[in-house]
Amino acid sequence: MSQKIVRLLSAEVNALLEYSCSLPTGTAIGKHWKRNMNWRTDKPPRWWRGEYVESAEPGMVDIEWMEIEIYDPPLANIPAGGGKE
């Protein structure tokens, strides 16, 4: 099984609540959060997104983890002043 990766903008990553050493309460299906897998080290952050998903077991939820790849498109071809004259 291959590892899942999600591409997010820096602003999207920053908007996610961080739960690096716990899990969020309120296990609503579709809830997203971020976890720094390097939180106990001096290494740079390695962000993963958690999501509560439906479980095959009745009354339970599962967690799907996806490694976050931060992608910020270049601001190419935008004139100074944002194109406003």
Cα angle 70-42-31, degrees, rounded to a multiple of 5: 45
The whole-number pLDDT of residue 72 equals 86
Cβ atoms of 51 and 34 within 8 Å: the answer is no
Would you kindly state where each structural domain of the chain is located, as residue ranges? 5-72
pLDDT digits (tens, 9 = 90+) for 30-66: 999 999 999 999 999 999 999 999 999 999 999 999 9
